[in-house]
Amino acid sequence: MALPHVFVARRIPDFGLEKMAKYADLDIWPEQLPPAPEVLRQKVKNCEGLVSLLTDRVDASVMDAAPKLRIISNFAVGVNNVDIPAATARKIPIGNTPGVLTEATADIAMTLMLAASRRLTESCEDAKAGRWKTWEPLGWIGQELQGRTLGIVGMGRIGHALARRCHFGWGMKVIYTSRSPKPESDQELQARQVQMSELLQESDFVSVHCDLNETTKGLFGAEQFAQMRSHVVFVNTSRGPVVDQTALAQALRSQKIFAAGLDVTDPEPLPPTHELYSLSNCVIAPHIASATVPTRNAMARICAENLIAGLTGQKMTSCVNPEVPTRQS
Ligand SMILES: NC(=O)C1=CN([C@@H]2O[C@H](COP(=O)(O)OP(=O)(O)OC[C@H]3O[C@@H](n4cnc5c(N)ncnc54)[C@H](OP(=O)(O)O)[C@@H]3O)[C@@H](O)[C@H]2O)C=CC1
Ligand SMILES: O=CC(=O)O
């Protein structure tokens, strides 16, 4: 029997592709850049499965172009690139890759916190450019983490993992916002759920870990930055559109806040001419939080498991819309 046709929207680790290839006839997009929307629609025409990345917009038009589509396996935990209601209405399950990237992502949030608070990129660039004239008692003075207050916005898997690092490593006090209470974090980390206004006013470090949804789009604007303390270090590893970047640039430029560390921006890539790059108190990484060998291999494994489960009518390792009934081919 012929294997089901699956479009894989970018080369992912072989580890996942080899597993997938036992169950599907794979058409792997070979380019570095994602397929254009019209190309994606063309590519999925005869597909029963789609492996998408966070850079691929999988909307109703893509699903309608693929009448045989039975599974969308997203190579990411965030699924804001997929129209979930549209997939659910068409009874297409969506897989994602939670958990396996939690520690790597928390590591990058930690790295950004430290780099931004200790002015690492700014001082290293100064050294390289010949601006390191001598040891300066008043030069490159930063912020310390020890014993200070961390505000986590979105106490999910990654938020908790960062809070654990900060609480046990730096003795930090942890406060957080989340849609629901997090008794595990309260107990393990002596964390406390608070209103957003309290978090903004009390935190020395604010780190964003919510998913991008209707309630978090534009969550951080001028009003929120205005409530923060002037020594605050703001970190975002969630999604760019959670932050109004014009307001962030203004807060950084005017030193309303001390510094920012970003792994995500809007758009991505952020054009090299963007003002945020010109601000010495802004550290920007190109969305690398899950970029380690074990993490990307584990993501590839779950992505393959989800795809295969969707194609064979089995329960997926992680399904975003479990209300969609499983179905055999
Ligand atoms: N930079 C990168 O490479 C990476 C980025 N990410 C991003 O991180 C996000 C989080 O991942 P993960 O921790 O695994 O996901 P989780 O679902 O475990 O955590 C998300 C948390 O956000 C909370 N939340 C949702 N809406 C709000 C809101 N309006 N206010 C406050 N909190 C809110 C949720 O609360 P509740 O539990 O109460 O619903 C949940 O606790 C991903 O969705 C993705 O966008 C993830 C991995 C890598
Ligand atoms: O941003 C990465 C993800 O997995 O989500």
For residue range 38-97, list pLDDT tens digits in order: 999 999 999 999 999 999 999 999 999 999 999 999 999 999 999 999 999 999 999 999
CATH of 102-284, one of 3.40.50.2300, 3.40.50.10800, 3.40.190.10, 3.40.50.720: 3.40.50.720
Cα(265) to ligand 1 centroid in Å equals 16
**Quick one: which ligand is closest to 235's CA?**
1
Please state, in angstroms and as integers, the Cα–Cα distance from residue 113 to each residue in 45, 108, 165, 235, 260, following that order: 44, 8, 12, 6, 8
Q: Do domains 5-100+293-312 and 102-284 have the same CATH topology?
A: yes
37 CB less than 6 Å from ligand 2? Answer: no
| pLDDT attached to residue 1 | 82
Ligand 2 lined by 212 (C-beta under 6 Å):
no
The verdict on the CB of residue 104 being under 6 Å from ligand 2 is: no
Statement: the pTM of the whole predicted model exceeds 0.95: yes
**pLDDT tens-digit map of 204-260:** 999 999 999 999 999 999 999 999 999 999 999 999 999 999 999 999 999 999 999
Instruction: State mean pLDDT over 102-123.
Output: 98
**Ligand 1 centroid vs 83 CA: distance in angstroms?**
17
Q: What is the pLDDT of residue 137?
A: 97
Distance 239 CA to ligand 2 centre (A): 8
Q: What pLDDT is attached to residue 105?
A: 99
Q: Which atom of ligand 2 is nearest to the CA of 299?
A: 4
What pLDDT digit, counting tens, does each position of 257-290 carry? 999 999 999 999 999 999 999 999 999 999 999 9
Per-residue pLDDT averaged across 4-28, rounded?
Answer: 98
pLDDT in the model for residue 326: 84
Instruction: Please report the pLDDT score of residue 21 as a whole number.
Output: 98
Q: What is the predicted pLDDT for the residue at 327? A: 74
157 CA → ligand 1 middle, Å: 7
User: In this model, does residue 134 exceed pLDDT 90?
Assistant: yes
Residue nearest atom 26 of ligand 1, based on CA coordinates: 210
Domain spans, the chain: 5-100+293-312, 102-284
For ligand 1, residues with CB inside 6 Å are 77-78, 98, 101-102, 105, 153-159, 177-180, 209-213, 215-216, 237-239, 263-264, 287, 289-290
- pLDDT on residue 82: 98
Cα 97 to ligand 2 centre (Å): 8
**ipTM confidence score:** 0.99
* DSSP symbols for 110-174: HHHHHHHHTTHHHHHHHHHTT---S--TTSS-----TT-EEEEES-SHHHHHHHHHHHHHH--EE
Enzyme catalytic residues: 239, 268, 287
The answer, yes or no, to whether residue 328 has pLDDT greater than 90, is no
Helix H or strand E encompassing 15: helix 14-21
Would you say residue 291 has pLDDT above 60? yes
Task: Please tell me the predicted confidence (pLDDT) of residue 329.
Answer: 57
What confidence score (pLDDT) does residue 186 get?
Answer: 98
**Which atom of ligand 1 is found nearest the CA of 264?**
1
Instruction: Indicate which ligand has the atom closest to the C-alpha of 210.
Output: 1
Mean pLDDT of the chain: 98
pLDDT one-digit tens code per residue, 174-205: 999 999 999 999 999 999 999 999 999 999 99
d(CA 140, ligand 2 centre) in Å: 33
Question: CA-CA distance, 269 to 288, in Å (whole number)?
Answer: 12
* 5-100+293-312 classified as CATH 3.40.50.720: yes
76 CA: nearest ligand 2 atom: 4
Complete DSSP assignment for 213-256: STTTTT-BSHHHHHHS-TT-EEEE-S-GGGB-HHHHHHHHHTTS
pLDDT at position 241, please? 98
Q: In testing the pocket of ligand 1, which one of 179, 196, 296 has its CB within 8 Å of the most ligand atoms? A: 179
Output DSSP code: residue 98. Answer: -
